[in-house]
Amino acid sequence: MAKKALITGITGQDGSYLAEYLLDLGYDVYGMVRRSSTENLERIDHIKNDIEFVQADLLDQASLDKALDISQPDEIYNLAAQSFVPTSWSQPVLTGQFTGLGVTRILESLRQVCPEAKFYQASSSEMFGKVREVPQTEMTPFHPRSPYAVAKTYGHHITVNNRESFGLFAVSGILFNHESPRRGREFVTRKITDGVARIKLGLSKELALGTLDAERDWGFAGDYVKAMHLMLQQDEPDDFVVATGTTHSVRQFLEVAFGHVGLNYEDYVTQDPRFMRPAEVDQLIGDNSKAKRILGWEPKVSFEQLVTMMVDSDLELLG
């Protein structure tokens, strides 16, 4: 019989790649969606007929109980969250409710409805924040720098705590930034590649950004969802850093993205205080050696390939 997976956040970037991957592996895929006045299935439009949708919200315990009861999953991937860091300063309570307490709600439902199900929590490199060591490993202490990161740190600890308290197969994937042509346009990578395409096509004249000095360990989302799946196929539940092990600044991203279409970013990019953050995460770089050793996982798409893939996709979309 086919394995059953429930993905929360299936309409998001990672949810779409994970759903594709699990369908290819022969899974029955259930997707949790929240009610919306207009349909927002763009990222999964091509596979939506292969997915069983269940309606639920991270804020509503009874709806989560029902979603798990309907799907009776072997594996749960908890990808749903308020995931945009700047919004977490303007909506800190909501972010805590979705991104933090939402994890407890799903785990409570899991314990009531399907305690044998394996659980994946989408944790984040943002938990390292003001980093205590370079590169960051599974043992590096956390120092979150935004309400989003604080909520994710709670989600991480409650996952580990459920594992230790109740013997659940519950794991936390500490994923560093991962991007794709399906990334939301407010995140810096997609904002840049969308901006480059607009400028190249004569639809826009400039691109306003915040700091250009921040450095991130950027990988490709399509590679990273495979690590999520591998974590749930292990004999023992454990937590893993998933990263490329390389870091680049926003400025370097700009150089490659504008360079790819024969332009110089300095002619178009302006800095706008509106995009500066109250507290910044200056540099992230992950040590992926545990994931390589135990999961046999490694990233396939390089930084340059990622940037050019995103620029080409935005040129095609807008062209």
User: How far apart, in whole angstroms, are the C-alpha atoms of residue 144 and residue 34?
Assistant: 28
Closest CA to 126 of 245, 283, 253: 283
Give the interface segment with ligand F7E, choosing from 24-32, 45-53, 118-126, 231-239 (CB under 6 A): 118-126
∠ CA(279), CA(284), CA(290), 5° rounding? 140
Residue 30 or 265: which CB sits closer to ligand F7E? 265
124 lies in the binding site for ligand NAP (CB under 6 A): yes
Amino acid in position 228: M
Q: Which two tokens stand for residue 71?
A: 């799907």
Q: Does 77 bind ligand NAP (CB under 6 A)?
A: no
| Binding residues for ligand NAP restricted to 148-187, rule: CB under 6 A | 175, 177-178, 184
Establish if 14 lies at the interface with ligand NAP (CB under 6 A).
yes
Distance from C-alpha of 253 to C-alpha of 150, rounded to nearest angstrom:
27
CA dihedral over 289, 292, 295, 299, signed as positive or negative: positive
Q: Is 76 in the site for ligand NAP (CB under 6 A)?
A: no
Q: Which residues participate in catalysis according to the annotation?
A: 124, 126, 148
Examine residue 214 and tell whether it contacts ligand F7E (CB under 6 A): yes
Q: If we measure between CA atoms, which residue out of 104, 97, 142 comes closest to residue 239?
A: 142
Nearer to ligand NAP, 189 or 200 (CB): 189
What minimum distance in Å lies between the beta carbon of 307 and ligand F7E? 13
Cα atoms in the Cβ-side hemisphere of radius 13 Å centred on 60: 12
**Smaller CB separation from ligand F7E, 32 or 269:** 269
Nearest distance from C-beta of residue 40 to ligand NAP, angstroms = 5
CB of 210: closest distance to ligand F7E in angstroms? 3
DSSP count for the chain of H helices, then E strands: 11, 13
Our finding on whether 285 is near ligand F7E (CB under 6 A) is no
Reduce the DSSP state of residue 219 to 3 states and report it: strand
Gap between the Cα atoms of 40 and 37, Å rounded: 9
Name the token pair of 307: 């940037």
| Interface region with ligand NAP, contact rule CB under 6 A, candidates 6-14, 225-233, 272-280, 309-317 | 6-14
Applying CB under 6 A, which residues contact ligand F7E? 83, 85, 124-126, 176-177, 186-189, 191, 209-211, 214, 216, 250, 275, 277, 280-281
Applying CB under 6 A, which residues contact ligand NAP? 8-9, 11-15, 34, 36, 40, 57-59, 79-83, 98, 122, 124, 175, 177-178, 184
